[in-house]
Amino acid sequence: MSDFKIGVVVEGTTDRIIIESVLNHILQDYTFKMIQLQPEQRFNDDGGFGTTGSGWGGIYRWCRQVVDMGFDILDNPSLKQFDIIIVHLDADVAEKKYRDANILNPKKDDLPCVSPCPPASNTTTNLEQVIYNWLNLSGQYFKPLVMCIPSKCIEAWIAVACYGQNDTSILMNIECNADIENYLAQKPAKERFIRNRKGKMKKLTKRYSEYSETITTKWNYIMEQCLQAKEFNDRIVTLKRNKYVMT
């Protein structure tokens, strides 16, 4: 049996690929089973993402759905079997309004919640509290919940891993750079993670998969450049340590 059973709540498929690559580094001496809880794919598929949808709005709806189940997330009978539940949200969501995701009656009007950057951590702390509000939780740390809030988006980690050592300019305040997706979209076609077709961005799953091992091998370097990566790393390490100290 795997050492860890991990549920991931992510904005989209490519985010899950990156997080899995990161976990392959942090939990390299362990085995784990990872199950994508959100986005939920519909089985009678019409190409959509289940009842909750994808993106940050999907994560909001997933959280509210968990609350609707009538149990605190920590006591939810079908979720408490997970050793870790990772909730991912890109920090740029802090700039959004609920209406942007077609959420007309939010639990609390706590978006936007962006703070000046640097430091990125002020905004990510605000955003964590927003997620706790979605889950009807008040405090800071709730095992097995682990927040993963890359700033401004998870593609910053890709940019560091793939280009940081040859293009140091991209490293400057990278966690406050709102233009990372465009940066990746402007790369030559053969190495492009994101395609920009008439202003519509498309993340290329194939490319994310191909480079997943790069993320794993360069995770220490990513952590040096991105404090949010370090934060995520430390939280997983703490849970890992707690599990094996307790058992």
Asked if 7 is part of the footprint of another protein (rule: CB under 8 A), the reply reads: yes
Output the 3-class SS for the chain.
CCCEEEEEECCCHHHHHHHHHHHHHHCCCCCEEEEEEECCCCCCCCCCCCCCCCHHHHHHHHHHHHHHCCCCCCCCCCCCCCCEEEEECCHHHHHCCHHHHCCCCCCCCCCCCCCCCCCHHHHHHHHHHHHHHHCCCCCCCCCCEEEECCCCCCHHHHHHHHHCCCCHHHHCCHHHCCCHHHHHHCCCHHHCCEEEECCEEEECHHHHHHCHHHHHHCHHHHHHHCHHHHHHHHHHHHHHHHHHHHC
Per CB under 8 A, which region of 32-40, 114-122, 207-215, 236-244 contacts another protein? 32-40
- The verdict on 25 binding another protein (CB under 8 A) reads no
Nearer to another protein, 69 or 178 (CB): 69
* 136 lies in the site for another protein, by CB under 8 A: no
- For position 34 contacting another protein by CB under 8 A, the verdict is yes
Asked if 79 and 73 touch (Cβ cutoff 8 Å), the reply is: yes
One residue of 37, 91, 93, 147 binding another protein per CB under 8 A: 37
| 24 binding another protein? (CB under 8 A) | yes
How many other CB atoms are there within 10 angstroms of residue 207's CB atom? 20
Nearer to another protein, 73 or 111 (CB): 73
Residue from 35, 178, 201, 237 binding another protein (CB under 8 A): 35
Residue 240 interacts with another protein (CB under 8 A): yes or no = no
Task: Count residues near another protein (CB under 8 A).
Answer: 30
Q: Taking CB under 8 A as the rule, which mask of x and - marks residues 68-87 in contact with another protein?
A: -xxx---x-xxx--------
Give the residue, chosen from 42, 97, 99, 108, that forms a contact with another protein under the rule CB under 8 A: 42
Does residue 2 belong to the site contacting another protein (CB under 8 A)? yes
The residues that touch another protein, with contacts defined as CB under 8 A, are: 1-2, 5, 7, 13, 16, 20, 23-24, 27, 31-38, 40-43, 50, 69-71, 75, 77-79
